[in-house]
A and B are shown apart, each in its own frame.
Chain A
Amino acid sequence: MGKPEFYGEGLPGIDLSELRGKLIVLEGTDGVGRTTQVALLRSWLESNGHAVLDTGMTRSALAGRGLRQAKAGHTLDATTLAVFYATDFADRLENEMIPALRAGFVVLTDRYIYSLIARAIVRGADPGWIHDVYGFALVPDAIFYLRISIEDLIPRVLHSTGFDYWESGMDLRLGEDRYDSFVAYQSRILAQFDAMAAGYGFETLDASQSIEKLFESLQTRVEAVLTRK
C-alpha cells in the first residue's frame, strides 16, 4: 500500500508496515453495478498475474449469519444494526482483508465503510459517532464511487432484482409503498455518498454509462493505483 494508515485509532496489534498489497474499494448504492464491475476487474487482474481477494458485506464468518437472520426478523433498532454491521466489517477486515494485504494481494471490496455510514446516518445515527466507530478501518488506496442519479437507478432496479425490502428502506416508512419508499430512501443514501465524496477522497465515476465503458475507465484507474508507489 502507498503508506498504510487507519482513519482513527486503528486496530490493536496490527503492524501497518507489513501490508504490501493494495486495497481498492468500489462504492455506490444498491443496483448501481458494483458487483458486476468487481467480477470483471477480478478476472482482468488475475489474467494479468495479480492475486485478488474479493469480498463484500455481511459475509463475515463471525457475524454474517447472525446479521442475515436479524434482518429477516426486522427487529433490530438503528443503533444495534449499525454496530452489528461494524462487527461484521471488522471481522472481514482483520481476518480476510488484512491477511491478504500482508500477502501482497489486490483486495477488491464491494462496498466499504461508506455504505455502512450512509445507511446508519439515514436511519438517524449521529454522523460524528458513526464516523468515529469506523476509526479502526484502513484508509484504502483508492475509492471508486459509482455514481448514478435516482432517475437512472429506478429503471435499472426495476429490470433486475425489483424493490427489495431493505434496499427500499421499508423499515423507515418513508413512503406509501415500495416504489415511493425506494425513491425516498435511495435519494437520501445518494445524498450521503455525495456528502462524503470530498472528505474521503472518492474518485467519482458515472455509473449511468454502459458496463463496458465503465469497466474501461475503472481499468485505467486501477492500473494507475497498481503502478503507484
Chain B
Amino acid sequence: MKYPGKLIIVEGIDGSGKSTQLILLRQWLESEGYGAFFSEWNSSPIVRETTRRGKKQRMLTPTTFSLIHATDFADRTAHDILPPLKAGALVCADRYVYTAFARDVVRGVSSRWVRSLYRFAVKPDAAFYFRVSLDVAMKRILGGRDAIKYYEAGMDLGLAPTPEESFPIFQARIIQEYERMVGEFGLTVIDATGSIESQQAQMREYVKQNVLPGVKKMKVRRWVNLSSTVRGFRE
C-alpha cells in the first residue's frame, strides 16, 4: 500500500552509531520544514509489561520472544507509524523488522516463518544498514553502558557462561544475518566506521534523491517556537 508519507529506517548492531545518525537526520528533516516522527523498537506501552516480565523471569522461548516483539511491533505500526504516514509525514524508525529477522533466526526460529509473521509491516522507503566490525562496535559500547542483560547477550542460546563472553558471539551471528539481508531486502549500506559527518552526508543525499520527492512540507513547529519565546514558560 502506498501512503503520502514516507518511512525511513536504520538498522545495525549496538554500537554501530545508527541512533545518532537517525537523530541527526530527523533534525535536518525538521529544519527543512518536513514533519518527521520517531518510532523506536520496544515502545508499545500495552505490550511493555508482558515483555518485561518475560525477560525478567526468563520465561521466553525463541518462539515467544519472536511473537512478543511482533506484538509490540504491530502496536507500534498501528499507533506510531501508520497515522503519520497517512497524514503525509516522515517516520524515522530506529530498528525495524530486520532486527527481528536477525535476532530470531540466530535463536533458531525459521527464517521463512518470521518473515511471514511480519508481513503486515509497512515497507520502508529507505532502509539504512550501518555496517561495522564486531571489534569496533564492542569498543564503542564498552564502558559506556550498564551491564549487558540476559537476552541482549543471547544467554538463552547457551553460547558462553557469562553475558560478557556470550554478547560478542551473539552479535557476530547477528552481523552474519544482517549481511545476508543486505541483498535480500536491498538495504542501503553505510560504512559506520567513517566520520559521523560523512555518514550523515550520505544519508541526506540518499533521502533527498529517493525519499523526499513528492513529500509535502508541514508547518508543524510554529506553535512550539511561539511558546518558547514566553519567558519562564518551560520552567
Q: Show the binding face of A for B, using Cβ within 8 Å.
A: 8-13, 61-63, 65-66, 69-70, 73, 75-77, 79-80, 82-84, 86-87, 90-91, 94-95, 126, 129, 132-133, 135-136
Contact = CB atoms under 8 A, between A and B. Distances in A.
B74 A83 contact: yes
B198 interface: no
Contacts of B119: 126, 129, 132
B63 A136 contact: yes
A215 B91 CA distance: 56
A12 B67 contact: no
Nearest to A61: B59
Contacts of A73: 46
A160 B58 CA distance: 40
Given A11-B63, A62-B60, A90-B63, A136 B113 contact: yes
Contacts of B59: 61-62, 91, 95
Contacts of A80: 44, 46-47, 71, 74-75, 78
A96 B74 CA distance: 26
Contacts of A132: 113, 116-117, 119
B116 A133 contact: yes
B26 interface: no
Contacts of A10: 110
Contact of B112 (A9, A90, A91, A129): A9
B31 interface: no
Nearest to B116: A132
13 contacts: A8-B113, A9-B110, A9-B112, A9-B113, A12-B107, A62-B50, A79-B78, A80-B46, A80-B47, A84-B71, A94-B63, A95-B59, A129-B120
Nearest to A136: B63
A83 B67 contact: yes
Contacts of B74: 77, 79-80, 82-83
Contact of B47 (A8, A66, A133): A66
A64 B24 CA distance: 40
A91 to B, nearest CB: 5
Contacts of B54: 62
A91 B50 CA distance: 12
A65 B46 CA distance: 11
Given A75-B46, A77-B74, A135 B113 contact: yes
B68 A87 contact: yes
Contact of B64 (A66, A82, A91): A91
Nearest to B50: A66
A95 B57 CA distance: 14
B70 A83 contact: yes
B62 A13 contact: yes
A33 to B, nearest CB: 30
A133 B66 CA distance: 11
Interface in B24-83: 44, 46-47, 49-50, 53-54, 59-64, 67-68, 70-71, 74-75, 77-78
B134 interface: no
Contacts of B60: 62
Contacts of A136: 63, 113
A79 B67 contact: no
A12 B68 contact: no
Q: Which of B49, B50, B70 has the most CB of A within 10 A?
A: B50
B182 interface: no
Given A61-B59, A63-B68, A73-B46, 7 more contacts: A9-B113, A10-B110, A65-B49, A76-B75, A87-B70, A87-B71, A132-B119
A80 B80 CA distance: 13
B181 interface: no
A90 B50 CA distance: 14
Contacts of A82: 74
B219 to A, nearest CB: 29
Nearest to A11: B63
B183 interface: no
B213 interface: no
A62 B113 contact: no
Nearest to B114: A9
A10 B148 CA distance: 30
Contacts of B63: 11-12, 90, 94, 136
Nearest to A91: B64
